[in-house]
Structure 1
Amino acid sequence: MEIGYVILYVGDLAASVGFYRDVVGLAYKFTDAGYAEFDAGGVRFALYERRRAEWLTGRAVTPGAGGEVVVMVADVDAYAERLRAAGVPVLSGPADRPWGHRTVHVADPDGFVVEFAEEIPRARGRR
């Protein structure tokens, strides 16, 4: 078994495509019928218009902040500088986390938290 797709339901597809393509740096593939797809390495990352998602699921889909997208990078401090230079508000970090990541957090247009993380040595004594 493997995870094939991660899909976020978004309010403004064009704004979200721009964010994930231009700010996050994911490789954009295509947009069709309220759906946009990116190549994110071993898993596909997609965006789907929230109004269409309600048709698909048969119930109202609430916006944003119900999840987090983590993007692994080689140098989180350089990414944080890139984000600031682009005018993207940083929610937290860069900071070392005890579980072995250095992270910086921003929010996408729908309020989903996007974490950029780089692996660092894990703090001793933690499980």
Structure 2
Amino acid sequence: MSRIDYVIWYVRSLDRAVAFYRDVLGLEVRIEGDGYVEFAMDNTKFALFEAAKLGELIGRDGGNPPCGEIGFITDDVDAEAERMRGHGVPILTGPVDRPWGERTLHVSDPDGNVVEFAQKR
């Protein structure tokens, strides 16, 4: 296996999570229905799924957030930090220059998952 097809976050409130990823981060909704919302991305599928519906899908509950981190490449981490502050999004770290040649910013989504913005140096 050498390619990721999709990433799905299980969320407590689909409406609240969609508002964050669509209205705050600026992602475009591509598909939605039955507890699922997928965003238009160039390189992979990224979607949200209502955690309460997991029993119907896989027969049991899923993980408890924060479950992971998703990273987005950006041209200007400092501008993203200002934009996130303007939306009242909790800043976890940054912007900070990293020894691996990136400037990063970490914020929290409504379910506590970590969202990273990285600017290549």
Matches of 1:108 and 1:33, distance apart in 2: 22
Matched, 1:96 2:97: yes
Gaps of 5+ in 2: none
User: Aligned-residue CA RMSD in angstroms?
Assistant: 1.2
Matched, 1:20 2:21: yes
Gaps of 5+ in 1: 121-127
**SS class of match (1:3):** coil
Asked if 2 retains the 8 angstrom alpha-carbon contact of 1:26 and 1:39, the reply is yes
Counterpart residue number, 1:65:
66
Bigger-Rg structure (1/2): 1
Q: What letter is aligned with 1:20? A: Y
Q: Which range moves more in the overlay, 45-54 or 108-117?
A: 45-54
TM-score under structure 2 normalisation?
Answer: 0.92
TM superposition shift of 1:7: 0.5
TM-score under structure 1 normalisation?
Answer: 0.88
Matches of 2:105 and 2:87, distance apart in 1: 15
TM superposition shift of 1:6: 0.7
Counterpart residue number, 1:78:
79
Kindly tell me the number of residue pairs found equivalent between the two proteins. 120
Counterpart residue number, 1:124:
none
Counterpart residue number, 1:49:
50
**SS class of match (2:91):** coil
Superposed CA offset, 1:76-121 (max 9, x none): 001111111121121110001112211111111111000111111x
Q: Which range moves more in the overlay, 47-56 or 30-39?
A: 47-56
Q: How does 1:102-121 map to 2 (within 5 A)?
A: 102-120=103-121
Q: What letter is aligned with 2:90? A: P
Matched, 1:5 2:21: no
Asked if 2 retains the 8 angstrom alpha-carbon contact of 1:70 and 1:117, the reply is yes
Matches of 2:6 and 2:34, distance apart in 1: 17
Q: Identity across aligned pairs (percent)?
A: 50
